[in-house]
Amino acid sequence: MRVLFVHQNFPGQYRHVAPSLARRKGTQVVGLGENPGDALPGVQHVRYKAPPSGHKDTHRYVRRFETAVYRGQHVARAGLALKEKGFDPDIICCHPGWGEGIYLKDVWPDAKTLYYFEFYYRSSGADVGFDPPGQAVHIDDACRVRTLNTTHLLSLDAADWGQTPTRWQASRFPDWARARMSVIHEGIDTDAIRRNDRATFVLADGRALTKDDEVVSFVGRGLEPYRGFHTFMRALPEILARRPRAQVVMVGGEDPHYGAKPKEGGSWKEVLLAELGDRLDRARLHFTGKIAHAQLGNLMSVSSAHVYLTYPFVLSWSLLEAMSASCAIIGSRTAPVEEVITHGETGVLVDFFSHDEVAAAVVRALERPGEMQPMRDAARRLVRENYDLHRVCLPKHLALVDEVAAGGTPRL
């Protein structure tokens, strides 16, 4: 079998399934992406040309779609180059969110296509209009959001079958699309990601934190409102005042990954630090930037309370990894967090907008670690039973690839 994986940041969600297929005798696997990515055993990595940016003369509703068309065109050209070299895939697995999947069927009309659909945009019930609460979405924004789905709709048309990681993310898609979509998460390696009581997390000043310290952890690709950074920061004065031993470690870059930059300029970190001023004990705040995955595992192993807040949006791997590491989770009462965190069972749920609730929950977790232990254990157990990479998710993903490649109709 010949398999083509397409992802702007390959390997992305295909980090485990691509090499697993490559290990099969007689299987050729190619990964096509825009950016340089990690080398995977047995997988040939090919890159396509990046699309142009800065379409100032284009209507703002369709600027992202125009970029997607350029990207789809470049992917198609890279596909034609592979075809000229004799590579004709039996199945194409593609994350089409940036436009990669638009024209793949035109290059290989006989190939089966399995697309990873991450998020379908709507002007209500999810991220748009969520923050600040109660504010009506302007018709101009509603129209822009509807237009964002142009890329998804073309990709849905090109896909023989779809995959999405959570039930809530699946629920955002139209009914006719969900009828051809399986809910399978990429999976968490729970054998590797587990609590290590001997772990240390070394701060920039050389101090080493251990499980005996009071460590409050917060992780996001970007420190931004989409992941509740503003609410968490506003909770910190109360946390730090009531827990004089607490050390707060925040992982993530300063550039937003999902939302906009502050209107006043700078980063959200700069804005919140200026707002809170001397109410924060800066000596106990540690901004790490982005860190290696091994370091993240060490942080989760020493964490006393792990805060995960999010708009109703895609679920972060970091939450499931924190659960796998038996962290005491303080999560927002939002979708899809509620799909994995049950209040009082696998963690504590709080109002996304209430920094007072966040502070009270973190302080209670630090004050009463024994109360949190059953929740820590239950969180890891839930991930082991439902999201384990090797025992649950990867076998399902491989079976889905095989079923679609064979032209079958998978069970949802």
For 293-340, the pLDDT digits (tens) are 999 999 999 999 999 999 999 999 999 999 999 999 999 999 999 999
Contact 23, 42 (CB under 8 A): yes
Q: Return the CATH class of domain 201-386.
A: alpha beta
**Which residues face 45 on adjacent strands?**
31
Q: Residue 135: which residues within 8 A CB-CB, separation 6 or more?
A: 129
Domain boundaries, the chain: 2-187+389-405, 201-386
The answer for 42, left when phi > 0, alpha when psi is -120 to 50, beta otherwise, is left
Is the pLDDT score of 57 beyond 90? Answer: no
- Which contiguous run of DSSP H or E holds residue 178? helix 175-178
Q: Look at residue 53 in the predicted model and tell me its pLDDT.
A: 80
> Would the pTM of this model clear 0.75, i.e. be above it?
yes
> Cα(83)–Cα(93) distance, rounded to whole angstroms?
16
pLDDT digits (tens, 9 = 90+) for 59-100: 999 999 999 999 999 999 999 999 999 999 999 999 999 999
CATH superfamily for 2-187+389-405 is Glycogen Phosphorylase B; (3.40.50.2000)
**Which residues face 307 on adjacent strands?**
218, 330
Q: What is the mean pLDDT of residues 138-154?
A: 96
Beta strand residue intervals within 192-341, DSSP E: 201-202, 208-209, 214-222, 246-253, 285-289, 305-308, 329-332
Q: What CA dihedral angle connects 215, 219, 223 and 229, to 10 degrees? A: -60
Q: Take residue 357 and report the two structure tokens written for it.
A: 């609730």
Q: What is the mean pLDDT of residues 224-236?
A: 98
Q: Take residue 19 and report the two structure tokens written for it.
A: 């090499």
Q: Look at residue 412 in the predicted model and tell me its pLDDT.
A: 67
Q: What is the mean pLDDT of residues 244-251?
A: 98
Q: Look at residue 247 in the predicted model and tell me its pLDDT.
A: 98
> Cα(59)–Cα(215) distance, rounded to whole angstroms?
47
Minimal CA–CA distance to 349: which of 359, 339, 338? 338
Size of the chain in residues: 412
What percent of the chain clears pLDDT 70, i.e. is strictly above it?
Answer: 100
**Which residues face 116 on adjacent strands?**
163
Provide the pLDDT confidence category of residue 134 given band limits of 50, 70 and 90: confident
